[in-house]
Amino acid sequence: MDEHGVGFLELPGLGGLSLPPLRSDETLYSWVARYHVLSSNACSRTTSRQLFGNPHAALRTDFPVQLDALVERTAGAFGGAAHIAHEHSAFGAFAPFLGVDLFGKVSQAMRAGDSFAIGRMMGLTTSRIGTPAPLKSCAACADEDVRSHYVAHWRVEQQLPGARVCPKHRVLLRVATESAHSRARRQQLILPHMLNADEWGELPRVCTSVMDALQRIEFWGRALRAKSEQEVRLFETEDLRDTYVRQAAREGWSGGDGRLMFRPMCHQLRSRFAGLEAVPGFEFIAAAHGVTGGFVGSLLRQYPGRQHPVKHLLLLAFLFESPEAFLAAYDETATLAAAERRTLLTEERAGLTQQLKTLVQEQGLSVCRAADELGMTVTLATKCLQRAGVAYGTRPRVVGTDREKQVELMLRRGDDPPLIASSLRVRRSFIKDYLAARPELREIWQNRHFERKRDAYRLRFLTTLAENPGVPIKKIRRLPSNGFQWLYNNDRAWLVENLPGLWHR
Nearer to Zn ion, 143 or 178 (CB): 143
Bridge-partner residues for 17, per DSSP? 11
Nearer to Zn ion, 144 or 404 (CB): 144
Nearer to Zn ion, 145 or 491 (CB): 145
Q: For 479, what's the count of Cα atoms within 13 Å in the CB-facing half-sphere?
A: 18
What's the closest the beta carbon of residue 198 comes to Zn ion, in angstroms?
21
The Cα 483–Cα 454 span in angstroms is: 10
| Residues of this chain that bind Zn ion (CB under 5 A) | 138, 140-141, 166, 168-169
What's the closest the beta carbon of residue 242 comes to Zn ion, in angstroms?
39
What's the closest the beta carbon of residue 5 comes to Zn ion, in angstroms?
20
What's the closest the beta carbon of residue 168 comes to Zn ion, in angstroms?
5
One DSSP character per residue, 311-374 reads HHHHHHHHH-S-HHHHHHHHHHHHTS-HHHHHHHHHHHHTTHHHHHHIIIIIS---HHHHHHHH
Nearer to Zn ion, 124 or 141 (CB): 141
Q: Do 308 and 161 meet the contact criterion of CB atoms below 8 Å apart?
A: yes
- DSSP helix/strand/coil, 489: helix
Nearer to Zn ion, 171 or 495 (CB): 171
Q: Which amino acid is at 412?
A: R
Nearer to Zn ion, 172 or 329 (CB): 172
Q: Do 241 and 296 meet the contact criterion of CB atoms below 8 Å apart?
A: no
Q: Do 289 and 392 meet the contact criterion of CB atoms below 8 Å apart?
A: no
What's the closest the beta carbon of residue 229 comes to Zn ion, in angstroms?
29
Nearer to Zn ion, 174 or 312 (CB): 174
What's the closest the beta carbon of residue 212 comes to Zn ion, in angstroms?
18
What's the closest the beta carbon of residue 164 comes to Zn ion, in angstroms?
12
The Cα 313–Cα 310 span in angstroms is: 5
Q: Say what angle helices 428-436 and 439-467 make with each other, to 10 degrees.
A: 120
Q: CA end-to-end span of the chain, whole Å?
A: 104
